[in-house]
Amino acid sequence: MNKIVATSDGSASVYSTQFGEQYHSKHGAWSESVYVFIEMGLFQKTHQPQVRVFEMGFGTGLNLLLTLKYLPSICQLYYETVDKFPLSNSDYLNYAESMPLQDRPLFEKIHLLDWNQEVVLNEQTIIKKVKTDIYDHRTSQIFDLVYFDAFSPRTQPECWSRAIFDKLYQSMANDGVLVTYCAKGSIKRLLAKVGFEIEILPGPLYKREMIRAVKIQSD
């Protein structure tokens, strides 16, 4: 059974007994997600009237919750996410108890949304959660922003492959942005080979670096 674990910033994460790894940094679940995916990712695109986000690894749903919290009211959101092994309802409910009271209703609402279909959350937001392997996932969307939040390359090496990054690159708009907490040299080189322009940014919390990769405007 998965376990709820405390992190250093006071927020909680989930320890996956299946993968032997936490879903977030032990130094701060919320702090890491806000920095990597919101500040270094979402805020690069909120000047647009609509942002189309793809998340690799729905996990606890924290990135979606934070995206909804920080999304400007004038910006439309299309959010698509995949997860082959979603957390159980009991795991979500246990994790919800660690949330600030004001965030629990929205957090529980996004977890109650049906899988494998587009759902209109409100007049501003459409969400599609897909229970599938990233290799098998098909989409008609072109994304402005990718949150790459799989478990680490050590734990899930198959998710950090050339085939996956090629697939994501093809599904992204010109000037689309991919952000990830990972900063391994092999991942930087792989993303560059795919065609991304690599930005090495200061990492969250106690990490030295993180990656932001931009799809180069084609001629």
Would you kindly state where each structural domain of the chain is located, as residue ranges? 28-87+101-215
Which pLDDT belongs to residue 218?
Answer: 62
CB 165 within 8 A of CB 191: yes
pLDDT of residue 219 exceeding 60:
no
Which pLDDT belongs to residue 93?
Answer: 87
CA distance readout (Å), 187 to 110, 163, 166, 182, 214: 31, 13, 13, 8, 14
In the chain, pLDDT over 90 holds for what percent of residues?
A: 95
Please provide the size of the chain in residues.
219
* Residue 23 burial by Cβ neighbours in a 10 Å radius (0-12, 13-18, 19+): buried
Instruction: Please state which CATH number belongs to domain 28-87+101-215.
Output: 3.40.50.150
pLDDT band for 206, please (50, 70, 90 cuts): confident
Give the model confidence (pLDDT) of 104-163 as tens digits.
Answer: 999 999 999 999 999 999 999 999 999 999 999 999 999 999 999 999 999 999 999 999
Mean pLDDT of 201-212: 93
Q: How far apart are CA 77 and CA 143, in angstroms?
A: 11
Average pLDDT taken over every residue of the chain: 95
pLDDT band for 1, please (50, 70, 90 cuts): confident
Closest residue by Cα to residue 103 from 29, 163, 176, 154 = 29
What does the block give as tokens for 130? Answer: 């897909």
Which helix (H) or strand (E) element contains residue 49?
A: none
pTM, full prediction: 0.96
* Residue 56 burial by Cβ neighbours in a 10 Å radius (0-12, 13-18, 19+): buried
